[in-house]
Amino acid sequence: MNDFSIKRCARCKTDIRIPSLTTDQKKEIKTARKKQGMGSTLAKIREITNLDLRDSKALVIHINEAGHCNRCTYDKLQGENQICPRCKSFNLNWE
Minimum distance, C-beta of residue 24 to Zn ion, in the bound complex (Å): 25
Burial of 65 (0-12, 13-18, 19+ CB in 10 A): middle
Q: How far is the CB of 91 from Zn ion (least distance, A)?
A: 7
CA distances from 69 to 14, 22, 48, 52 (A): 17, 22, 25, 25
Residues 52-91 that bind Zn ion (CB under 5 A): 69, 71-72, 74, 84, 86-87, 89
Least distance CB 11 / Zn ion (angstroms): 5
Query: What does the binding site for Zn ion look like in residue numbers (CB under 5 A)?
Result: 9, 11-12, 69, 71-72, 74, 84, 86-87, 89
